[in-house]
Amino acid sequence: MSETTRARVEAAARELSFAITRSASSLVTGRTGRVAVLMPHLESWFLSATLSGMAPALRDAGLELLVYSVTDVQERADFFDRLPARRNADALLVVSFALSPAERARLDDLGMPLVFVSQHAPGRPSVYVDDEEAALRGTRHLLNLGHRRIAFLQTADETGFAWSSKNRLAGHLRALTEAGIEHDDDLIMSVPGWKGSGMAAAVGRLLSLQTPPTALFTETDDLAFRLLAALREANIPVPGRVSVMGFDDHVMSALMGLTTLAQPAAELGRTAVRLTRSVLDDTDGDPQRHIILPTELVPRRTTAPPPVER
C-alpha cells in the first residue's frame, strides 16, 4: 500500500465517522435539511417561546434551524431584496411579521413552501390564535367585574414590524359594543418603545381625563409589566384603584399575579413545524390549511371590581 493510498484511506475513514457534507447532498437532492425562520427580533417572550417550541420539533424531523432576525428598516429592505433564504432552506416560516403587499409578493416569488406563524396569510398554511375572540373575552371579564371605563394600551409600532394588534383592539371594541358602551377614543393609547418615559406619559394622559378609566387592558404582557411599574411609581394601587389585564401569559405573569389571556406560544411553534413537515412531505392534501389555537383567560390578582364611587 503506497503512502498516498494509506493517507487517502485514513482520511476517508475519518470522514465516515463524521457528518456528511450537506452542501454536496443538497446540491443533488435539492433539499437542504434546513428550515428558515423569519422574525422581527429575538427578544420578546413570545418569540423566544415560539422558537423554543419549534426547535425540538424540527430536530425530531431531522431539520436544522436557520434564524433570520430582521429588525431594522435597512435589514428589512435588504432581506426582501436579496431573499437569502432562497435555495438555502426547504421552507420559510414567517413569524409575527407584518408584511407589505410587495413583501408578500416577493415571498410568494421565492417558490418555496411558506408557513405563517402567529399571523394569518390567505392562501398559505398558517397557525395562529384568534386574537379578536380572546380580547373579546378579556374585556368581557372586565365588564363582568363592573368596569365601564376601560382603556386599551398598544405598542406604538412605528416600523410596522410586528404583527398588527388590530384584531385585539377589534375584540375589545366588540365587547364594549355588546355591552352597549360607547367607544371613547381617549381611552385608546399607543405607547412608544422600551426606552424613555412613554409609559408614564400614557398613564398621565389617562389619569388626567375627566372620567379616567378604572381598568387598563394592554396588548401584551410586556406592556402590562411596564404599566404596573409606572403605576407603582405613581403610587396607584392595583387592583385597588385600577385593574390591569395583559395578553400572552408570559412566564413572569404568574409570578406577578397578572390577569391575562394565555396564548400557547410553544404550541404555535410545534404546530408550525408539523404543518411545515406535512407541506414538505406533500402528505397533506390542503396546503392552505389554517390552524387556530385556543386562548384562555387567566384571572389573577391584578383585576378586581372598580372602586366604589364616593
Q: Which residues bind a second copy (CB under 8 A)?
A: 18-24, 26-27, 32, 34, 41-43, 48-49, 51-52, 55-56, 59, 64-69, 71, 75, 82-88, 194, 225-226, 228-229, 251-252, 254-256
Q: At what angle do helices 73-82 and 101-109 cross, to 10 degrees?
A: 30
> Contact between 255 and DNA (CB under 7 A)?
no
CB of 133 to a second copy, least distance (A): 27
> Contact between 25 and DNA (CB under 7 A)?
yes
Identity of the residue, 10 or 233, whose beta carbon is nearer to DNA in the bound complex? 10
Q: Which does 51 bind (CB under 5 to 8 A by kind): a second copy, DNA, none?
A: a second copy
| Residue 284 to residue 185: CA distance in whole angstroms | 46
CB of 271 to a second copy, least distance (A): 17
1, 13, 28, 255: residue in contact with DNA (rule CB under 7 A): 28
How many residues bind DNA, per CB under 7 A? 8
- Give the SS3 label for residue 50: helix
CB of 14 to DNA, least distance (A): 11
Q: Cis peptide leading into 239, omega within 30 of 0?
A: yes
Nearest to 287 by CA among 63, 122, 101: 122
Identity of the residue, 56 or 204, whose beta carbon is nearer to a second copy in the bound complex? 56
Q: At what angle do helices 221-233 and 198-207 cross, to 10 degrees?
A: 70
- With the CA atoms of 97, 40, 115 and 60 taken in that order, what torsion angle do they form, in degrees rounded to the nearest 10? -160
| Residue 260 to residue 244: CA distance in whole angstroms | 9
Q: Which does 252 bind (CB under 5 to 8 A by kind): a second copy, DNA, none?
A: a second copy
User: What's the full length of the chain, in residues?
Assistant: 310
CB 63 within 8 A of CB 90: yes
The three cell numbers locating residue 75: 435589514
> Contact between 20 and DNA (CB under 7 A)?
yes
CB of 22 to DNA, least distance (A): 8
| Residue 21 to residue 305: CA distance in whole angstroms | 63
24, 102, 255, 308: residue in contact with DNA (rule CB under 7 A): 24
CB of 193 to a second copy, least distance (A): 12
> Contact between 13 and DNA (CB under 7 A)?
no
CB of 75 to DNA, least distance (A): 22
CB 192 within 8 A of CB 226: no
CB of 64 to a second copy, least distance (A): 6
CA distances 261 to 82, 224, 225, 264, 276, Å, are 38, 12, 14, 10, 27
> Contact between 1 and DNA (CB under 7 A)?
no
Identity of the residue, 69 or 88, whose beta carbon is nearer to DNA in the bound complex? 88
- Choose the stretch contacting DNA; rule: CB under 7 A; options: 20-28, 48-56, 190-198, 293-301: 20-28
Identity of the residue, 175 or 199, whose beta carbon is nearer to a second copy in the bound complex? 199
Beta bridge partners of 218: 153
Q: Residue type for 121, please?
A: A
| Residue 78 to residue 84: CA distance in whole angstroms | 9
CB of 234 to a second copy, least distance (A): 14
> Contact between 29 and DNA (CB under 7 A)?
yes
- With the CA atoms of 51, 54, 60 and 62 taken in that order, what torsion angle do they form, in degrees rounded to the nearest 10? -80
Which residues are at the interface with DNA (CB under 7 A)? 15, 20-21, 24-25, 27-29
